[in-house]
Amino acid sequence: NASLGKNAEETGHYLGASVRWDPLTENEKYESLLVEEFSSVTVENEMKMDAAHPAPEEYNFQKADEIVQAAEQNNMKVRGHPLVWGEALPEWVYETVVDEQSARKVLKDHVQTMAGHYRERVNEWDVVNEAWNDDGSYRETIWLEHIGPEYIPLAFEWAREAAPEAKLYYNDYGNEMTNEKTEAMFAALKRWKDEGVPIDGIGMQTHIDAADPRFSKEKMQKNLRRWGAEGFETAVTELDVKLQNLDASREERLEKQADIYADVTSACMEEPSCKGLTVWGVGDTESWVTEQEAASGEPLLFDSSWKAKPAYERIKRTF
- Helices 250-270 and 217-229: angle between axes, nearest 10 degrees: 20
CA distance 8 to 301: 15
Residue 277: which of 24, 5, 69, 43 has the closest Cα? Answer: 5
Residue 48: which of 95, 90, 19 has the closest Cα? Answer: 90
What type of residue is 153? Answer: P
CA distance 228 to 202: 10
Q: Tell me: does residue 288 bind ligand XIL (CB under 6 A).
A: yes
CA distance 217 to 266: 8
Among 40, 129, 257, 285, binds ligand XIL (CB under 6 A): 129
252 catalytic per annotation: no
Q: Which residues contact 58 (CB under 8 A, 6 or more apart)?
A: none
Q: Pattern 144-183, binding to ligand XIL, x per CB under 6 A? A: ----------------------------------------
Q: Pattern 229-248, binding to ligand XIL, x per CB under 6 A? A: ---------x----------
With beta carbons less than 8 A apart as the criterion, state whether 40 and 80 touch.
Answer: no
- Near ligand XIL in 6-45, by CB under 6 A: 44-45
* Residue nearest ligand XIL (C-beta atom): 288
Q: Give the residue with the Cβ less far from ligand XIL, 257 or 287.
A: 287
Q: Give the residue with the Cβ less far from ligand XIL, 44 or 176.
A: 44
Q: Give the residue with the Cβ less far from ligand XIL, 47 or 269.
A: 47
Neighbours of 207 (CB within 10 A): 17
> CB of residue 7 vs ligand XIL: minimum separation in angstroms?
25
- Near ligand XIL in 38-57, by CB under 6 A: 44-45
* CA 42, 45, 46, 52 torsion-angle sign: positive
120 catalytic per annotation: no
Among 39, 40, 205, 285, binds ligand XIL (CB under 6 A): 205
Interface residues with ligand XIL (CB under 6 A) are 44-45, 129, 205, 238, 288
For the annotated catalytic residues, the residue numbers are 130, 238
